[in-house]
Structure 1
Amino acid sequence: MLGGTFDPVHLGHLRSAVELHEALGLDRVHMVPAASPPLRDTPRVTPEERLTLLRLGIGDTPGLVADSRELDREGPSYSADTLAELREEYGREARLVMALGHDAFLRLADWHAPERLFALAHVVVIERPDHQARLPASLTALIGNREVASTAALMAAPAGGLLRLSLPSRMAISATEVRHRLATGASVRYLLPEAVEAHLLTRGLYRH
């Protein structure tokens, strides 16, 4: 599972999903747009539009799935609830992984029911090469002795581990910058998949 606002989805999101799929040997990566993110500002466009953009961005990429389940639920988009649904679908022995970026990881102890996340899945942190910040005490306590050093060690159990993973491309694309460029009429070429760019420009999304 790779969740996010995807506001809008860009090549950094998609390349990370492809590299996660390869690095961890996953059957599939569920990319899950948050309908109502609890710890983020309200996204600029509707959940339905963000899902449409995600589907356009993924296209026919093997192993990537645009998952609409958080749009189908009412209330805040809690990752623990999403993982519980996936666990029910895939069964007790399936290896489930929740991937997130380093910035989101630093706030993990503030998430809804953070202990439940580890009961349901492994957590994989996509490392930033320039990020060496000390972890908050609450996060250190949450992690405990869960961290492992390899994918093989992580996949030895269905859930409960933590792995920090450096991906090859590390594309420094920011959705904030993409939105700013769209609002000012600047080029977003090669920051977004062509189908996403075409849809955004045709619909006039993020222009105001």
Structure 2
Amino acid sequence: MSESTRPLAILGGTFDPVHVAHLAVAWEASELLDAEVRLMPASVPPHRPPPVADATTRVALLRAALRGQDRLGLDTRELARGGPSYTIDTLAQLRAESGTRPLVLLLGADAFAGLPGWHRWHGLFELAHIGVLSRPGSAATWPAELTREIASRHATDPRLLHNAPAGMVVALEVTPLEISASRIRELLQCGRDPRWLLPPGIRDEAGLLDAYRAIL
């Protein structure tokens, strides 16, 4: 498959810090979609509190976590752009760079349910597909406005997203891991070691975790 037809998927977030659940979800989505997946740290997320760590620290953690990955990469364009990280602006930039290559925005089910509150949310479907990350066997209900928007966009097979640059919505069942960045920060503040919650690359990078702990 050429790079022009292999989807590029984006997983956004503050990654404050990045943890194994982020990587697990990204990896499974990559396999389900047969896609390149990029983790994209937000500068100023419009719908959640700002990150504790600065951009330089979060990027250093992400680079360490992603070292040696062949399916997952890093995209720092929202940090470089600064200001509120509106997804519509990011996807417009990616679309201009990618031509007709399929783009996929990866969203958790809760984030997807809140899509009608996003900046220019209807335009997202013109720029990318949306992969909704869900638990196996879960049944979701969406707001009426969102249900109407996606009524004709459902794709039953992730492989169908290879056939068009944007416009479809597909459910991606991924393994749930109950890990949160806030819990990791709590453990670090208490002087505990969240050893099996963080990617090995972070633990192996001398001083990186100590530098993050010092920020808290």
- When normalised by structure 1's length, the TM-score is 0.91
Other-structure match for 1:7: 16
Other-structure match for 2:118: 111
**178, 182, 189: which one pairs with 2:188?**
182
User: What is the aligned residue count?
Assistant: 205
Residues 8-47 of structure 1 mapped to structure 2, 5 A cutoff: 8-26=17-35, 28-47=36-55
- Percent of pairs with identical residues: 42
Q: Is the 8 A contact 2:57 2:212 kept in 1?
A: no
Q: Is the 8 A contact 1:182 1:206 kept in 2?
A: no
1:180 is paired with a residue whose SS is helix
Distance 2:38 2:107 in 1: 13
The one-character-per-residue Cα deviations of 1:95-126 (angstroms, maximum 9, x if unpaired) are 11111111211111111111111100000011
The one-character-per-residue Cα deviations of 1:15-36 (angstroms, maximum 9, x if unpaired) are 111111111111x211100011
Structure 1 stretch displaced more, 103-112 or 190-199: 190-199
The one-character-per-residue Cα deviations of 1:71-92 (angstroms, maximum 9, x if unpaired) are 111321011111111111111x
Q: Cα distance, 1:148 vs. partner?
A: 1.4
Other-structure match for 2:177: 171
Other-structure match for 2:163: 156
Q: Is the 8 A contact 2:66 2:201 kept in 1?
A: no
Q: Cα distance, 1:135 vs. partner?
A: 1.5
User: Within the alignment, does 1:147 sit opposite 2:140 as a pair?
Assistant: no
| Gapped regions of structure 1 (runs ≥ 5) | none
Q: Is the 8 A contact 2:39 2:74 kept in 1?
A: yes
Structure 1 stretch displaced more, 140-149 or 156-165: 140-149
Q: Cα distance, 1:7 vs. partner?
A: 1.1
Distance 2:212 2:16 in 1: 14
Q: Is the 8 A contact 1:44 1:206 kept in 2?
A: no
**92, 97, 100: which one pairs with 1:89?**
97
Q: Is the 8 A contact 1:124 1:162 kept in 2?
A: yes
**128, 133, 137: which one pairs with 2:144?**
137
**52, 57, 78: which one pairs with 1:70?**
78
Distance 1:133 1:183 in 2: 35
User: Within the alignment, does 1:195 sit opposite 2:205 as a pair?
Assistant: no
2:84 is paired with a residue whose SS is coil
From the superposition, tell whether residues 176 and 131 of structure 1 become closer, same or farther in structure 2 (CA, over 3 Å).
farther
Distance 1:196 1:43 in 2: 18
Q: Cα distance, 1:130 vs. partner?
A: 7.4
Distance 1:19 1:124 in 2: 12
1:155 is paired with a residue whose SS is helix
| Gapped regions of structure 2 (runs ≥ 5) | 1-9
Question: What amino acid is the match of 2:162?
Answer: M
Q: Cα distance, 1:206 vs. partner?
A: 6.4
Distance 1:49 1:131 in 2: 35
Q: Is the 8 A contact 2:66 2:72 kept in 1?
A: yes
From the superposition, tell whether residues 200 and 106 of structure 1 become closer, same or farther in structure 2 (CA, over 3 Å).
farther
Distance 1:204 1:97 in 2: 31
| CA RMSD after TM alignment | 1.8
Distance 1:99 1:182 in 2: 29
Distance 2:212 2:106 in 1: 31
